Amino acid sequence: MNKDTILAQLPYSRPFLFVDEILEIDENKVSGTYTFDPSLDFYKGHFKDNPVTPGVILTETMAQIGLVCLGIYLSAGSGATEDEDETMAGHVMLTSTAIDFLKPVFPGEKVTVHAEKVYFRFKKLNCSVQMLNASGEVVCKGTIAGMVTKRMNG
């Protein structure tokens, strides 16, 4: 399954899609980017006159890139034929997070998420994940887990 196919399989759309591109992906890791558009609605009230990206949105960005994209990739490669890859890619439902927030992310910032698979068994995917700003500084990091389920299109 290629990067564009994975992006097309994501079950999100704007304004709740927090993946711009997948930089690399294999059975053990994924990296991707997202730039926070300053016009996103949540910036209007978080925080007044000094907008900062909410931690829940940073967590969601890490989950979409670091868990969902990798889960789609892994589920498509788990016994499906090439023809089935696009019709049976998995959904990933978030089950747990443990995230440390170290630096703020402001409107207009581009971030890069790196995730490494800790384990994928019994349909549960657990990843170690970190988000870096454009300067290469870690803004948040932790672990994230979810359940991978098969999706049948059509």
Which residues are known catalytic residues? 46
Q: CA 125 to CA 151: how far, in whole Å?
A: 16
Q: Which residues contact 48 (CB under 8 A, 6 or more apart)?
A: none
Query: CB under 8 Å to 57, separation ≥6 — which residues?
Result: 18, 36, 42
Are 27 and 1 contacting, i.e. CB atoms less than 8 angstroms apart? Answer: no
What is the C-alpha to C-alpha distance for residues 110 and 72, in angstroms, rounded to an integer? Answer: 24
Q: Are 99 and 144 in contact (CB under 8 A)?
A: yes
